[in-house]
Amino acid sequence: MRFFKPFFLSFALGLLLPFSVFAQRNDGAVIPGDFADPSIIRVKNTYYAVGTSSEWAPHFPIYKSTNLKNWQQVGYAFDKTPAWTSGSFWAPEYYKIGNTYYLYYTARRKSDNTSYIGVATSRYPDKGFVNHGVLIPFGKEAIDAFIFNDNGQLYITFKAYGLDNRPIEILGYKLSANGLKLEGEPFSLLKDEPRIGMEGQSILKKDGYYYLFYSAGNCCGTGCSYNIRVARAKNFAGPYEVYANNPILSENEKWKCMGHGTFVTGTDGAEYYLHHAYNRESTVYTGRQGLMSQLTWPQNHGWPVFTTQKLAGGIVPNITDNFNTASIAKYWAWDFRNSTPKIKQQAGTLHLSGSTKAGNQTGIVLAARSFSGSFDMAVTVANNNTALKGLAYYGDANAALGIGTQNNKVIVWQVADNKFANLAEASIKNTSPVEVKFEVAEGKDIRFFYRQGKTAWTELKTAEPAKLSSLPQWDRSPRGGLHFKGAANQEAAFKAFSVVNK
């Protein structure tokens, strides 16, 4: 897949996310918005976290913090899609050997569309990762890598699925000293004998025991049942004793379906666990957000205990972007399977164009991760042509809706059932910029507005309510952002983008 060169140069020179004033309380997420399957690493007094990006590019967003509470996005692991992959960028795992940072990650192999584990390396924790290809092409699915150093011997563990009708297993291999090759034959640490689901493992050693923490249940969507369980063994390869009082981390009044994380020792000496969970109110519309829980070891029984959200963020930021820097903001992403955007930002204007995959009815969407289930999003469309350009609320190429301008009209549109449909339209002056806006209320309602000049907002009402329920995908939340649908020789020009969370 080829991408517009100036765009990736802009990422390399980019600034941090241009947040403005602070907004809605977030009930405790330290990394709000869709940031599933996070992995965390500490470098002296600085922490880095990387998470699942699913079908969004660039791949695997990376965040940075000095206190485990406040995080800023600093980049992505991959600006370009690794050659062996076709999608499903899940569960990246940090590790460090010497002066080299490793990222073990899950993606679908292009040749057979099966999810396997690859590896990449860099001299830095937040940039410059070089892909080394597939490391574990095992069975019908191998995902969720985790690395453990047992007295100098490296092991890689992973979830194996579809092994001759056997239950899901957590398997392990010996790993070479340079972290790039498997050694010997795989071995089984733990089997999913109750067949309730098992994945996302992390391992700690304490007082002669290996503690295997794993996620059980259904990971994703409105029917999720995720929780964290633990088993322990005297030997790394087992046999593991499953804790009788599982789960040890499940849900509370604000968050549900907690799971899949990794541990880090804080500068205060405490053991913290960065993991994901759904907010009970916004659920799939904000996705699996990053939470921080603390692990403690009571003396009376030896099994660990989680203190949920021991460290917690309290607020989520609004976004104001006037496009007045030489590079675009780090939060922008797109569905790389269905579009190849061309992006240029200069003198207060973002120019968007590009190409789409055959059959894509939506067009190109440059989107920002949703921090809240209720928000207002607005942008000014600065040019006039026959292309449709404005805002979209995007779940996938066949699940999107939005508002935009085309010639002398403003249009509310929706894509569903592989069809593009106009839901409403109104005539406008084609001699001046048009500002468009939509307001989302917890995934239950969306309203569309437009205005020109300093006039009041005009609501463009649809005959029937736009369908929001189709937007969330099973492994990722919908995102709002800039939209372009037009010919290859056309573009959209945008000014003054904003998101106000409620």
List beta partners, residue 85. 109
Give me the domain span that covers residue 288.
27-313
Residues 301 and 356 grouped into a single domain: no
- At 445-486, the pLDDT tens digits run 999 999 999 899 999 999 888 989 999 999 999 999 999 999
With bands split at pLDDT 50, 70 and 90, how would you rate the model's confidence at 166? confident
Please report whether residue 12 resides in a domain: no
Residues 53 and 68 grouped into a single domain: yes
The domain that holds 99 is classified in CATH as 2.115.10.20
Give the end of a domain, one of 265, 285, 313. 313
Pick the range with the lowest mean pLDDT from 1-5, 410-414, 424-428.
1-5
For the chain, the domain total comes to 2
- At 114-130, the pLDDT tens digits run 999 999 999 999 999 99
Residues 298 and 393 grouped into a single domain: no
Amino acid 314: pLDDT: 64
Please report whether residue 10 resides in a domain: no
Residues 412 and 472 grouped into a single domain: yes
Residues 347 and 297 grouped into a single domain: no
Please report whether residue 11 resides in a domain: no
pLDDT above 50 for 285: yes
Please report whether residue 358 resides in a domain: yes
CA angle, corner 20, sides to 62 and 266, nearest 5? Answer: 40
Please report whether residue 265 resides in a domain: yes
- At 187-204, the pLDDT tens digits run 999 999 889 999 999 999
Q: Annotate 72-92 with b (16+ C-beta within 10 A) or e (fewer).
A: ebbbbbbbebbebbbbbbbbb
E runs forming strands in 280-373: 288-296, 305-311, 315-321, 334-335, 339-346, 349-356, 364-368
Task: Kindly state the average pLDDT of the residues 284-309.
Answer: 91
Residues 116 and 149 grouped into a single domain: yes
Residues 384 and 281 grouped into a single domain: no
The domain that holds 343 is classified in CATH as 2.60.120.200
With bands split at pLDDT 50, 70 and 90, how would you rate the model's confidence at 1? very low
Residues 210 and 238 grouped into a single domain: yes
Residues 440 and 307 grouped into a single domain: no
Task: Kindly state the average pLDDT of the residues 101-105.
Answer: 98
With bands split at pLDDT 50, 70 and 90, how would you rate the model's confidence at 383? very high
With bands split at pLDDT 50, 70 and 90, how would you rate the model's confidence at 309? low
pTM: 0.94
- At 39-92, the pLDDT tens digits run 999 999 999 999 999 999 999 999 999 999 999 999 999 999 999 999 999 999
Amino acid 13: pLDDT: 31
Give the end of a domain, one of 270, 289, 313. 313
pLDDT above 70 for 244: yes
Please report whether residue 21 resides in a domain: no
Amino acid 16: pLDDT: 43
Residues 31 and 158 grouped into a single domain: yes
* Selected residue with higher pLDDT from 13 and 78: 78
Residues 339 and 460 grouped into a single domain: yes
Task: Collapse the DSSP code of 63 into the 3-class scheme (helix H, G, I; strand E, B; otherwise coil) and give the result.
Answer: strand
Please report whether residue 13 resides in a domain: no
Amino acid 308: pLDDT: 76
**Active-site residue numbers?**
37, 199
Please report whether residue 84 resides in a domain: yes
pLDDT above 90 for 10: no
Give the end of a domain, one of 289, 313, 337. 313
- Measured CA distances, 391 to 370, 403, 434, 481 (Å): 14, 5, 12, 6
Residue 126 and residue 74 in contact, taking contact as beta carbons nearer than 8 Å? yes
13 — alpha (psi -120 to 50), left (phi > 0) or beta? Answer: alpha
Residues 182 and 292 grouped into a single domain: yes
With bands split at pLDDT 50, 70 and 90, how would you rate the model's confidence at 431? confident
